Structure 1
Amino acid sequence: MSETETSKLPKHARVVIVGGGIMGCGLAYHLAHEGWSDVVLLEKAELTSGSTWHAAGQITHSTSSFGLGKCVGYNIDLYSGLLEEETGQSVTWHGCGSFRLAYTQDEMDWLRHTMSVGRALKFPMELVSPDRIRELHPFYNLDGVLGGLHTPEDGHADPSGVTQALAIGARKLGVKIVRRCRATDIKQQANGEWKVSTELGDITCEHVVNAGGTYARQMGEWSGLQLPMTSMTHHYIVTDTVPEFLELDQELPVIRDDKLVSGYIRMEQKCGLIGIYEKENPNTVWEEFCPWEAENELFEADYDRIMPWLENAMDRMPIFSELGIKREVHGAISHPPDGHPLIGPAPGVRNYWCCCGTQIGIGWGPGLTRELARWMVHGAADISMREFDPRRFGDYADKDWQVVKAKEDYCLRHEIPFPHFNRLEGRPVKPSPLYERLKEKGAVYEEVYGHERPRWFARNGLEQRDYYSFKRAEWHDVVGEEMRAVRSAAGIMDISAFTKVELTGRDSEAYLDRLVANRLPKKVGGIALTHILNRRGRIELELTVVRLEENRFYLVCAAFFEQRLLDHLAQELNGEAVTVRNLSTEWGAMTLNGPLARDILQPNTSARLDNAAFRWLTAQEIEVAGRKLWALRMSYAGELGWEFHIPREDMLAVYDALWKTGEPLGLTDYGSFAMNALRLEKGFKGAGELTNEVTLPEADVMRFVKLDKADFLGKSATVDSAEAAELSWICVYLEVEPDGLEDGHGGEAVLLNGEAVGATSSVAYGHTVGKILAFAYVRPDAATPGQELEVVIMNSPRKARVLEVPAYDPDSLLPRTDARVEVAAE
């Protein structure tokens, strides 16, 4: 090794990024812009020599994800001028616009919903007829097309040019990029720093970032990490010169034909380009190991695999049908199990960051890396990162499961992204003890952090399967029946899909108290609802805390926050004598709600259940059907009710006993769809409202905060937010006029006098009150109770009004209902 080579590599840096594609260079650029320039990026070959260089480079405003939409809008602004102005490096931006076509009413509904989200983001887009498509793209066969979404400011860029420009921008701000330097190991040192071993020597750093693309999974294994993603191969082909294109003065819009082509068709100079994500027989490579010598790697085209869609493409673009093929591009791209990139902290370790698993790097990369940079530098991103957080997967996400799910994701790449779309491959993973019993009773399940949770129960002749629609689906009335049962009699639900953690030790109270914004329960059996924040005062997660004993606490939160909670607890320890025990798989849980809940529970326990003996928001260890369990008197449905937290082996016996008693009284099984609508009727905020992008004052949950506490993580930022002259936005509770067909799905624009002032975060139809109910984040001037607004549902504005109190039981009297007093006859 020459002296020149070793001098390239510093001995220490604040951040080391491993990987020089669009994601690694994008993060280096944005870290420098956020103020961290002591950054070293390592690339084993040349920049963009992995998946980036063979990307098609397209980007569209057409997204139904509000958070991802913010990233896309930023990226298009960057590519269409800002990046080149800053760096002088051409990105070869083609602002040709695009169409997404619809052949069915379901596809049209998808486009209408996208329009609703796009209006909240103030994106330029319009729904157009086939005549308008034909006017702007005269060569496409529009037989069967009902309409399309026109996004006129879309386009495509040169992937290598974009990445080089980001690298230039990073270098100008002090980032060091070392090419031809392969990392060989990443290990955390005793002092918490990371040592990155490379072919040119070692470098230590405070933060390490895995931006390894198709190498990311095996790089994670160096550090004992399981990072779920699989390399899938994708084709696009470039035709010979198209004679009809020679006479064009401007570039044709990109066509996204999800149904027939399962991909996209566009101009490539004066040639045609066809990209295909086949919907069957997807191909994996490098399932165990991506070879280190791979560089600008391509595979031989597999025409047998893509031929049905290629033939459709030729039918749609008949001017291509007699042309030869100039170039075949068949390269590998990382696919995570659910289609969303891994952007954020790796599970179980400190200061190891994932910036990988990105199947659409050019379209998503810069915006996501900007958010990751903000997360690293400031402690929180500015969009909700829940769908991208690498900690959303647990130990169940082993290699075999990863491959199954990546194949599923690839095949779904150009399917309609229906609300509540249920990915069924590789399941069940973690069924509860009630799984088979409830399945026999009609449960239609969803997966939550590996757990199987009932969504709704097939009744009234409905087939036991998923039904998909942007309108009211077939299960709408069944969910209404479940809700009415809970409101009028009682409902029982398997809620094992919760994170359940026990915290013990002599310092447990003091330790936990400095992590949460609310006061801990003082008495044994007390329950407190609180939030864990980050240093920016943004919400990490909502937490239920139960004091089981003087120095023993039970913590419950949503299942997908399990690793986030465990990491938070481990990383905030400062020498305290505390033991953390994860009970999430050892214990299950169920809830019993409704006015007859006490009547159903009492015959199965010797414990007194009246208000004097068992108060609202308290917990007791009791026996039910001869099994010991913790009963928590609380209700997410806003009714009289209890949650039962119980060892898994005892769940079935308790459920059967309660069902035997309750069935004659009208006890009904219910699922998460009814639970969500019930909580909206009660005005209870959920995970859609309580995210890393908002503070407690912005979320309007300051009643769960005690600012007179000595200190808690994020307190100063919370105080600053509470004392701000004006908040950026405020979470409001809305009632929206229904039309009997469409209820909304989240992300829809909220209008004040026709101007977009915010977006919905959760929406559901409240069968009890006969209104659509929603939470939305809006500008402060639109947040006054009684304010008349509009919510754009399926591209149609609906009258809405800001509510001051819950639509159902506004005084919250029902959960506190006491036992009936029996009067003896004279």
Structure 2
Amino acid sequence: MTLPSHARVVIIGGGIIGCSVAYHLTKLGWADVVLLERKQLTSGTTWHAAGLIAQLRATANMTRLAKYSQELYGALEAETGVATGFKRVGSITVALTAERHEELRRSAAMARAFGVEIDEIGTAEIKAKYPHLNTDGILGGVYLPKDGQGDPGNIAHALAKGARMRGAVISERTKAMGITRNGQRVTAVEYQAEGRESGQITCDHVVNCAGMWGREVGRMLGVNVPLQACEHFYIVSEPIAGLTQLPVLRVPDECAYYKEDAGKILLGAFEPVSKPWALDGIPESFEFDQLPEDFDHFEPILEQAVARMPMLASAGIHTFFNGPESFTPDDAYHLGRAPEMDNVWVAAGFNSIGIQSAGGAGMALAQWMESGEKPFDLGDVDISRMEPFQGNRRYLAARATETLGLLYADHFPYRQKASARGVRCSPFHAQLAARGAVFGELSGWERANWYAAPGQAAEYDYSWKRQSFFDNIAAEHRALRTGVGVYDMSSFGKLRVEGRDAEAFLNRICGNDVAVPVGRIVYTQFLNARGGIEADVTVTRLSERAYLVVTPAATRLADEAWLRRHLGDAAVVITDVTAGEGVLAVMGPKARDVLQAVSPADFSNAVNPFGTAQEIEIGMGLARVHRVSYVGELGWEVYVSADMAAHVFETMMEAGAAHGVTLCGLHAMDCARAEKAFRHFGHDITCEDHVLEAGLGFAVKTGKGCDFIGRDAVLQKRQEGLQRRLLQFRLTDPEPLLYHNEPILRDGVIVGHVSSGAYGHSLGGAVGLGYVPCAGEDLATVLGSLYEIDVAGRRVRADVSARPMYDPEGARPKA
């Protein structure tokens, strides 16, 4: 085969995801699609996958993609003539603990909100559907009748054939060897065909679908793709007489899954401590290979499985299989445009759910590449969530020991990763740790989430009910509302945007008007062409030519990439200065008293009103204070250079003691912001949520005298009217807890789901935000309905409001 000299896109990797991307791009009409596979199609991970195809995922859009995969696989055989083995056999997941049972009940409620058919079933029903199962210790479970299974290799080959039928060139035994680049673009991919020619293909786009080779291929392409191969074990029994079709069975409390196939049982495991593989690189010869058996590692799982499925005791083992699969630092796959380059895309690191994800992921990436914008919110898997350090080999090896097992671990709210910790610490870390801070981790940052009381274990004790630190958060929350609380927000991203064109550039990116006097702080969003929210930030004017853009910690890289991609020829320099400054939030009615005790500056409304910043002396050092609040109280964010941070902290705590200063964690901050109905980016507001429907029209200035991204969509929405509204809910029963994705019922009918939830300690109940359809209705009609929230199958009455239930006039931050 002679490869073309040019392609619109070169896809590297011929597993199921590479074939899916090729299939979907050609379906959109892309010509000149070339896929390069180093060995044979499916020869990496796809060929030995278990082929479980489930519908329900942790979020609405991930569920949307999984459902799409099922529908696609069901139709592929008719389209291509390649049998995929896809069949809807259903699936059962069972609980052996009360906590797991609560998780499954909440999953069932979530499924109802997402339109996935699901039944909560008891032990007798489980036994009826799976008669071979020992139900001792099983408390209950869930049954999804439309879940399925299929032949992974054949599904991939069907996708490949579909792509070829529409003109794609798929070249096996052809390795991508290197690239030619021009700035932030790859202009050509160099290849070596085994026993044939070498050459290069000029291209407009490159997609990294290299699976467990994705990190190394990413390095070649100039992008960071953090993933690590791990050993994954399963056994296949000898044929069992009388064994007929069964649902897929998952027993996560025993780390096991079971699949009937051709009269045999496949038993697979996601053990709590996994085994990273090929830390020094994958052998060049790897092709349809398996790894050495490790029966000692698998034996604890097998012992439990024999007790759970007694027929395995006499069945005999036909195959003991150990094969590698790639895992990411957060157990979510990588999808989208790499932040370091303008035309390099990634679809890799599927964490053992590649078969059920590949159809939807390929569709979503193809649409993204076609339009240049995400087709819907893909923040869960967007590659730009990965920080550069997360490509570190030692970090990946340490984290991978945990992430495989987390697939079947209890998915408790607030659950933190235990491995690969302590990489990024704020300048206040040691001081906070000494005072009882219990740290969580986000984007590698160690963040004080709550504070243990004297004598209390400074560690998480997880539960779906009130966790051991519930009262700690309540006390911290009370300090923010009635006294003064201090929390560390150093992890929030800080991007310095400066240059001759800084004002004009940011006014093109931001919905709000940043042409403000020096010292003013502007709350704003970056909008896309649809009026959706790409970023939620504050912009502080530091000088005539310089601004500071403050972003959530998790989206710092994505927000920086958005700015850079829209820079054009503007005379602007963008610098990440996140690590250069520590930030302490000083919040509460007594915040002014504390600051006046440590600084000669004037913190009055006349000199430092809400929404302004000023340089100050503090202790014996210097700082900058921003008068803003994410908790709805009087307060300041104190920005201090890292070298003076410890001094400023000690000065603040010493002087604050007379005013009852309390150290608070970010969980208390979240509870307070939920009471104020402040939006949380990634949950309440995303790229597919229109800024007006999110209730943020006050932060958009269509008349600011210049065009900006999303302006037309804002004007159009104002003319057409809202299709839905983001409302605040409070449960009237103070006991149940809200986290996210609980169904919202209006007059008995599911109309949406909770986008984010927390406990409103001041309001006396759990609070949450969520979108409700409102087309053609006035606000009074929408609010006049009866609302309930489905909490683990129980409908709980909820009050509803379009304004913040706490301090609706917004007077407290301006006191």
* TM tier relative to shorter chain: over 0.9
- Whether 2:639 is the aligned partner of 1:641: answer no
Q: Which residue of 2 aligns with 1:800?
A: 798
Tell me the amino acid that sits aligned with residue 291 of structure 1.
Answer: P
Inter-partner Cα distance in structure 2 for 1:382 and 1:764: 29
**Aligned counterparts of 1:686 and 1:68: Cα–Cα separation in 2:** 19
Given candidates 8, 11, 21, the residue that maps to 2:15 is 21
How much has 1:572 moved relative to structure 2?
1.8
In structure 2, the partner of 1:152 is 145
The residue type paired with residue 347 of structure 2 is C
Residues in 1 aligned to 2:56 and 2:184: alpha-carbon distance in whole angstroms = 46
Residue number in structure 2 paired with 1:663: 657
Structure 2 equivalent of residue 731 of structure 1: 726
> Which of 474, 488, 492 is equivalent to 2:486?
492
The 1:462–1:61 alpha-carbon spacing in structure 2 relative to 1, beyond 3 Å, is farther
Structure 2 residue identity aligned to 1:290 = I
The aligned amino acid for 2:123 is P
> In the alignment, is the contact (CA less than 8 A) between 2:218 and 2:225 conserved in 1?
yes
Residue 384 of structure 1, aligned match among 365, 377, 386: 377
**What is the CA–CA distance in structure 1 between the aligned matches of 2:236 and 2:134, rounded to whole Å?**
19
Q: Which residue of 2 aligns with 1:702?
A: 697
Matched with 2:241 is 243
Equivalent residue for 1:715?
711
Pairing of 1:160-179 with structure 2 (within 5 A): 160-179=153-172
Mapping for residues 364-763 of structure 1, pairs under 5 Å:
364-397=357-390, 398-459=392-453, 461-687=455-681, 688-709=683-704, 710-724=706-720, 727=723, 729-740=724-735, 742-763=736-757
Matches of 2:56 and 2:64, distance apart in 1: 11
Q: Please name the residue that 2:331 is paired with.
A: 339
Rounded to whole Å, the distance in 2 between the matches of 1:33 and 1:649 is 56
Following superposition, the deviation at residue 23 of structure 1 comes to 0.9
1:298–1:133: structure 2 CA closer, same or farther, 3 Å change rule?
A: same
Structure 1 window deviating more from structure 2 (407-416 vs 674-683): it is 407-416
Q: Deviation of residue 491 (structure 1)?
A: 0.4
Secondary structure of the structure 2 residue equivalent to 1:321: helix
Are 2:460 and 2:468, in contact at CA under 8 Å, matched by a contact in 1?
A: no
Please list every run of 5 or more consecutive structure 1 residues that lacks an aligned counterpart in the other structure.
818-826
Secondary structure of the residue that 2:419 maps to in structure 1? Answer: coil
Question: Any idea what the Cα deviations from partners look like across 1:5-30, whole Å, max 9, x if unmatched?
Answer: 32xx1222222111111111111222
Of residues 191, 202, 205, the one that matches 1:204 is 202
Q: In the alignment, what sits opposite 1:266? A: 259
User: Does 2:105 align with 1:112?
Assistant: yes
Q: Tell me which residue corresponds to 2:195.
A: none
1:813 partnered with 2:805: no
Q: Secondary structure at the match of 2:11?
A: strand
Partners of 1:778 and 1:86 in 2: CA distance = 39
> Please, which moves more after superposition, 187-196 or 130-139?
187-196
Once residues 14 and 497 of structure 1 are traced to their aligned partners in structure 2, the CA distance between those partners, rounded to angstroms, is 40
Q: How does 1:310-329 map to 2 (within 5 A)?
A: 310-329=302-321
Structure 2 vs 1, CA of residues 718 and 292 (structure 1 numbering), >3 Å: closer, same or farther?
A: farther
SS at match of 2:453: coil
CA contact (8 A) 2:256 2:305 kept: no
Give the match for residue 277 of structure 1.
Answer: 270
The answer on whether the counterparts of 2:211 and 2:348 sit within 8 Å (CA) in structure 1 is yes
Corresponding position of 1:293: 285
Q: Which runs of 4+ in 1 moved over 6 A?
A: none
TM-score (norm 2): 0.95
CA distance in 2, matches of 1:259, 1:277: 10
Write the distance in 1 (CA, Å) between the matches of 2:765 and 2:398: 41
- Residue deviations 1:761-785 (CA, integer Å, cap 9, x gap): 1001101011321111232259723
CA contact (8 A) 1:99 1:149 kept: yes
- C-alpha distance in structure 1 between counterparts of 2:721 and 2:530, whole Å: 18
Q: How does 1:84-103 map to 2 (within 5 A)?
A: 84-103=77-96
Q: Which amino acid aligns with 1:585?
A: A
Q: Which moved more, 1:284-293 or 1:30-39?
A: 30-39
2:160 maps to a residue whose letter is A
Q: Output the CA distance in 2 between the equivalents of 1:719 and 1:263.
A: 53
- For the 8 Å contact 1:379–1:536, the answer to whether it is kept is no
| Partners of 1:717 and 1:425 in 2: CA distance | 44
Instruction: Give the Cα–Cα distance (whole angstroms) in 2 for the partners of residues 382 and 756 of structure 1.
Output: 25
The one-letter code sitting in structure 1 at the alignment partner of 2:538 is T
Q: Of 755, 759, 764, which aligns to 1:765?
A: 759
User: Deviations 1:478-529 (Å, cap 9, x if unpaired)?
Assistant: 2111111111111000100110111221111111211111100411101101
Q: CA deviation at 1:536?
A: 3.7
**Residue 666 to residue 575, structure 1, CA distance change in 2 (3 Å):** same
Partner residue of 1:824?
none
Structure 2 SS opposite 1:689: coil
User: Could you tell me the percent identity over the aligned residues?
Assistant: 34
Check 1:382–1:226 CA distance in 2 against 1; reply closer, same or farther (3 A cut): closer
Tell me if the contact between 1:380 and 1:693 (Cα under 8 Å) persists in the aligned partners: no
SS at match of 1:437: helix
Amino acid at match of 1:16: V
Question: What is the rounded CA distance, in whole Å, between the counterparts of 1:292 and 1:708 in structure 2?
Answer: 60
SS of match in other structure, 2:87: coil
Aligned equivalent of 1:823: none
- 2:229 aligned partner: 231
Q: Secondary structure at the match of 1:244?
A: coil
Structure-1-length-normalised TM-score:
0.94
Mapped partners of 1:374, 1:538: distance in 2: 16
Q: Distance in 2 between matches of 1:497 and 1:283?
A: 31
Distance 1:191 1:557 in 2: 24
